[in-house]
């Protein structure tokens, strides 16, 4: 359980703004917004640190004079393998099995018979399907200028599309969270819609392991990636991801010019794109807010002071918890950071991304729900998700099973869990009062998650 403290220091937000946040790739980074309103220095000018080179060797990189980026990796040594040295000035060539002028080059269609099903053997393969060199280690957010607040990409099933641009000139890489569903292939496609640039897609595990470097795939692990199109020929970049179990990943959008020059160059400000994730399975009508296998326990549902937690009592309520007098909603306990999904198709009508609450706070104070989402489903029910650690989609239409946040303990929460409730349920029979809505949501969650 994470320790939570009372926010009594008035200048705490200033401290946090300076300290930044951990980006999962080894550096503390200033939290950046799309418009750059909170952008700031990511390193001290002149600082030098170690960086990964092709073939597994190490080089060094220096913090730029403006403190806003790390320069490209220098001093890389040849490893004896035929790998691309970022200092050599040469570029890796397209795989010999993919002719840039042929109809098959950089245009593999997931829906065509030639694409074929994902290989379940999880062996290392390149764009020609044979044994290949492992991917070059990439560290986009250690070197480049990353937009860290991009919305979550895709859902468990169906198609999800994001349209974005680099017009601010602040970033040369966009990072998107993606929850890869278990046993289902997800095709991620990056299409250029404006500007003159060759699109590049990179896929990293949460721990920073490079699963796909834009051309070569690391497939000998629980997450298999397949290179369908590099994007170097000026056509869309495309990669297929197949995970043995539900797995959170990061997908990076940038250009080959940025990649080949060590993530130092800027992106053109007229660069626009469409990023699409397609999971080849039907979108469910409704799904559990979290993977049922990740839920460690169902903490509490609706109960009143007259209810008893004694199974032998005539007033027995299985949701009764002896440390409270009442509770509306359903608590789903899981590890911190567990992906949280849209339960049904609908629109996120409001969200809260700040946390002013704390464990055991006065219930008369604001902030009880912490970081939260209100989802107005097409069915007419509005769902509330409380105590999130991260809100990944703050507004707009989402599909059932789409990644919308991460489990946390914000607000009045003493352990990571999602407080899931019917905020409004006019179309649910017998759910007119708060008590009735709570009783109904208990049965609803049980039907989806147990």
Residue pLDDT, tens place only, 237-249: 999 999 988 888 9
> CA-CA distance, 132 to 130, in Å (whole number)?
6
Asked whether residue 70 carries a pLDDT value surpassing 70, the answer given is no
Give me the mean pLDDT over the 160-165 stretch: 90
Q: In the numeric block, which tokens belong to residue 329?
A: 């909603």
Give 76's pLDDT tier (boundaries 50, 70, 90): low
Closest alpha carbon to 4 in 365, 334, 414, 386: 414
Report CA dihedral (142, 153, 261, 56) to the nearest 10 degrees.
60
Under the banding of pLDDT at 50, 70 and 90, the label for residue 68 is low
Selected residue with higher pLDDT from 230 and 426: 230
Within the chain, all domains assigned CATH 2.70.70.10 are found at: 292-449
Report the DSSP pairing between strands 371-377 and 330-334.
unpaired
Task: Count the neighbouring beta carbons within 10 Å of the beta carbon of residue 185.
Answer: 21
What are residue 327's DSSP bridge partners? 303
* Residue 42 token pair: 């990511």
User: Quick one: what percent of the chain has pLDDT higher than 70?
Assistant: 69
Look at residues 184, 235, 238 and name the one whose alpha carbon lies nearest to residue 214.
238
**What is the pTM (predicted TM-score) of this model?**
0.55
Residue 240, strand partner residues: 187, 226
**Closest CA relative to residue 375, chosen from 435, 436, 286, 282:** 286
The answer on pLDDT for 37 being more than 60 is no
Which residue from 61, 72, 63 is spatially nearest to 264, judged by alpha carbons?
Answer: 72
**Buried-state track 344-364, b at ≥16 Cβ within 10 A, e below 16:** bbbebeebbeebebbbebeee
Q: Which CATH superfamily hosts domain 292-449?
A: Glucose Permease (Domain IIA) (2.70.70.10)
Are the C-beta atoms of 310 and 233 separated by less than 8 Å? no
C-alpha span between 449 and 288 (Å, rounded) = 5
**DSSP assignment of 279-328, as one string?**
ESSPPPS---SS-GGGEEEE----B-TT-BS-TTSTTB-TT--TT-S-B-
pLDDT tens per residue across span 255-310: 999 999 999 999 999 999 999 999 888 778 898 999 888 899 887 666 677 778 78
| Predicted confidence (pLDDT) per residue in 84-135, tens digit | 222 323 333 333 233 333 323 333 333 333 333 333 333 344 433 344 578 8
Q: Which residue has the tokens 């060539």?
A: 93
Q: Which backbone phi and psi does 52 adopt, to 5 degrees?
A: -80, 140
Top-tier CATH class for 25-88+106-279 = mainly beta
Res 398 pLDDT > 80: yes
The count of other CB atoms within 10 Å of the CB of residue 284 is 18
Enter the tokens of residue 328: 């509306």
Task: Return d(Cα 104, Cα 114) in angstroms, integer.
Answer: 9
Residue 289 contacts residue 449 (beta carbons within 8 Å): yes
Closest Cα partner for 218 from 133, 91, 107? 133
Which whole-number Å values give the CA distances from 361 to 112, 192, 328, 384, 410, in the listed order?
56, 49, 17, 20, 11
Q: Quick one: pLDDT at residue 52?
A: 60
Q: How confident is the model at residue 436 (pLDDT cuts 50, 70, 90)?
A: confident
More confident residue, 281 or 233: 233
**Could you tell me if 30 and 20 are in contact, meaning their C-beta atoms sit under 8 angstroms apart?**
yes
* Residue 260 pLDDT: 93
* pLDDT band (50, 70, 90) for residue 51: low
- Quick: pLDDT tens for 309-353: 788 888 887 766 655 666 678 889 999 989 899 999 999 999 999
Please tell me the distance from the alpha carbon of residue 316 to that of residue 333, in angstroms, as a whole number: 22
Produce one character per residue of 368-389: b if its CB has 16 or more CB atoms within 10 Å, e if not.
Answer: bbbbbbbbbbebebbbbbbbbb
Q: Which of 225, 195, 215, 166 is nearest to 36 (CA)?
A: 166
Segment 209-223 shows an average pLDDT of: 87
- Please give the pLDDT value at position 73: 65
Residue 428 has pLDDT above 80, yes or no: no
Is residue 164's pLDDT more than 90? yes
409-432 as b/e, with b when 16 or more CB fall inside 10 Å?
bbbbbebbbbbbbbbbbeebeebe
In the predicted structure, residue 427 carries a pLDDT above the cut 80: no
- Report the mean per-residue pLDDT for the chain: 74
Q: What is the DSSP letter of 134?
A: P
Q: Is the pLDDT of residue 24 over 60?
A: no
């Amino acid at each position: 359980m994470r320790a939570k403290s009372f926010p009594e220091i008035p200048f705490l937000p200033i401290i946090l703004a300076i300290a930044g946040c951990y980006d999962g790739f080894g550096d503390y980074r200033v939290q950046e917004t799309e418009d750059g309103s909170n952008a700031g220095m990511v390193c001290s000018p002149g600082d030098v640190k170690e960086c990964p080179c092709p073939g597994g060797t190490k080089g060094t990189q220096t913090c730029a004079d403006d403190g806003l980026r790390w320069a490209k990796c220098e001093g890389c040594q040849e490893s004896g393998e035929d790998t691309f040295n970022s200092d050599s000035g040469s570029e890796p060539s397209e795989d010999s099995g993919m002719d840039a002028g042929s109809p098959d080059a950089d245009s593999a269609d997931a829906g065509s018979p030639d694409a074929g099903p994902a290989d379940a053997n999880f062996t290392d393969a390149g764009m020609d399907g044979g044994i290949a060199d492992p991917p070059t280690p990439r560290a986009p957010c250690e070197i480049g200028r990353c937009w860290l607040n991009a919305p979550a990409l895709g859902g468990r099933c169906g198609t999800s599309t994001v349209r974005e641009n680099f017009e601010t000139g602040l970033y040369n890489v966009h990072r998107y969270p993606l929850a890869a569903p278990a046993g289902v292939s997800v095709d991620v496609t990056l299409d250029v819609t404006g500007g003159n640039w060759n699109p590049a897609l990179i896929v990293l595990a949460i721990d920073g392991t490079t699963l796909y470097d834009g051309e070569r795939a690391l497939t000998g692990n629980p997450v298999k990636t397949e290179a369908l199109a590099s994007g170097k020929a000026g056509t869309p970049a495309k990669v297929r991801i197949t995970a043995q179990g539900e797995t959170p990943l990061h997908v990076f959008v940038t250009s080959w010019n940025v990649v080949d020059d060590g993530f130092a160059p800027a992106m053109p400000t007229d660069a626009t794109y469409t990023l699409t994730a397609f999971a080849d399975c039907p979108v469910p009508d409704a799904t559990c807010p979290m993977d049922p296998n990740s839920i460690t326990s169902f903490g509490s549902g609706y109960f009143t002071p007259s209810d008893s937690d004694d199974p032998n009592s005539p007033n027995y309520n299985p949701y009764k918890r002896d440390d409270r007098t009442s509770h509306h909603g359903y608590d789903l306990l899981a590890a911190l950071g567990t992906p949280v999904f849209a339960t049904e198709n609908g629109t996120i009508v409001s969200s809260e991304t700040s946390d002013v609450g704390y464990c055991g706070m006065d219930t008369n104070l604001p902030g009880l729900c912490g970081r939260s989402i209100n989802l107005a489903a097409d069915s007419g029910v509005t769902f509330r998700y409380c105590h999130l650690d991260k809100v990944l989609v703050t507004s707009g239409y989402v599909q059932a099973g789409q990644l919308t946040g991460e489990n946390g303990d914000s607000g009045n929460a003493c352990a990571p869990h999602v407080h899931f409730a019917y905020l409004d349920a006019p179309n649910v029979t017998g759910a007119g009062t708060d008590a009735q809505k709570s009783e109904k949501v208990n049965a609803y969650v049980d039907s989806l998650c147990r």
